[in-house]
Amino acid sequence: MLRYPAISLAILLLTACGAKVPVFPPQGTIALPAAAHGLDDMAYSGELQRFIIPGGQSGDIYLIDPGSGKITATVRVTAGGKGKGVTTAAYGLGFLFAGDRTHRALVVINADSHQVVGRRKLASTPDIVRFAASQKEVWVTEPGAGQIEIFRVHPSARPILAKRATIAVPGGPESLAIDDQRDMAYTNLTTDKTVAIDMLQERILERWPNTCQQARGLALATARGLLFVGCHGGKVVSLDAAHRGTLIASAKVGQGIDLIAYDAADNRLYVPAAGNGMLTLLGIAPSGRMQVLAKYRTAPGARCVVSDGSGRAYVCDPARGRLLVIRHRAGG
């Protein structure tokens, strides 16, 4: 017999009856160390079974157990400070790869010992770091230079980061999503286009209209070939990534959208809006169409989110240096 937590049952009943979208509080908070302000990008690693939370101005990365919500490790990456520190990180091949804004560098950390084992100078300040498992590469967006730097990882106790390519993205890059199944990468221009990049050829293939005025976050439903784009002005759109970025649908949410996150287990999309301090939970149909299921109160300025893919998500509260916990399915 299926059992749903009270919030999930309320969502099912209210949306089935066509009632007004329910609004819920977060189910908890996770306090980070006092210096952890300026939270931005966050990640989850299924291999580590940990949320990876770059601490912004603290210069640290926090690894958090999704079950208990406890910080299991604090990894020192760089000196912090306003406009500095570490705001992005990704996992691959037993290492954490972090963007060091203080020293404009890509930092390599052993995921077991939590020790820094390598650094690579970057051409410009890093914004988003992602690991491309199919190519054993680290991709780093650098909006200040309008480009993406790509490094091939040669694993060892002190892995070598060999510069592979630089892809010019004039008018971007904004956000980054990696599709290892199709050897494709996606980023946005800051206006109304999403860019499709062939990872094997290391070049832009197409620019897809996304109807945003200011395109921001990206989330990928890899198995379904869907790409979601968050528009800063207050909506999210779905594109058919398997068929040249055809626009499928859009849904209105609050203004101030930045990062978004997809939950593959439940086909849900988390969309936080900094303007009204609300997170919108969207259900995704097989066609890619979207339905607003519920809203959660977050905090003004809360604009980043990460999901573990099994009904748990964290929303950042950059001003207070904490995480807000969202759960929407049994066992979450």
Reported as a single tens digit per residue, the pLDDT across 230-244 is 999 999 999 999 999
- 6 Cβ contact partners less than 8 Å away, ≥ 6 residues apart: none
Tokens of 311: 């009904």
Same domain, 238 and 145: no
Full-model pTM: 0.92
Same domain, 26 and 86: no
pLDDT at 51 exceeding the cut of 90:
yes
- pLDDT tens sequence across 282-313: 999 999 999 999 999 999 999 999 999 888 99
Alpha-carbon gap, residue 165 to 202, rounded angstroms: 7
- Domain end, chosen from 149, 168, 187, is at 168
Same domain, 176 and 45: no
Same domain, 212 and 327: yes
pLDDT band at 262 (very low <50, low <70, confident <90, very high): very high
Question: What pLDDT, on a 0 to 100 scale, did the predictor assign at position 329?
Answer: 58
Same domain, 297 and 178: yes
pLDDT at 78 exceeding the cut of 50:
yes
Alpha-carbon gap, residue 184 to 320, rounded angstroms: 36
Tokens of 193: 């286009």
* Lowest mean per-residue pLDDT among 52-56, 109-113, 197-201, 316-320: 316-320
Give me the phi and psi of 147, to 5 degrees please.
-155, 170
Question: What pLDDT, on a 0 to 100 scale, did the predictor assign at position 34?
Answer: 83
pLDDT at 330 exceeding the cut of 60:
no
Same domain, 69 and 201: no
Alpha-carbon gap, residue 241 to 198, rounded angstroms: 12
Same domain, 223 and 328: yes
pLDDT at 134 exceeding the cut of 50:
yes
Same domain, 250 and 207: yes
CATH code assigned at 326: 2.130.10.10
Place of tokens 């299991």: 72
Selection from 95, 67, 32, 94 nearest residue 321 by Cα: 32
- Domain end, chosen from 117, 138, 168, is at 168
- Domain end, chosen from 128, 147, 168, is at 168
Number of domains composing the chain: 2
pLDDT at 258 exceeding the cut of 70:
yes
Contact status, residue 170 vs residue 199, Cβ threshold 8 Å: no
Question: What pLDDT, on a 0 to 100 scale, did the predictor assign at position 19?
Answer: 60
Average of per-residue pLDDT across 43-51: 97
Same domain, 154 and 303: no
Same domain, 101 and 113: yes
- 180 Cβ contact partners less than 8 Å away, ≥ 6 residues apart: 132, 133, 134, 222
Question: What pLDDT, on a 0 to 100 scale, did the predictor assign at position 88?
Answer: 98
pLDDT at 172 exceeding the cut of 70:
yes
Percent of the chain past pLDDT 70, that is, above it, reads 93
pLDDT at 53 exceeding the cut of 70:
yes
129: domain range? 38-168
Same domain, 202 and 68: no
Average of per-residue pLDDT across 82-104: 96
Same domain, 69 and 10: no
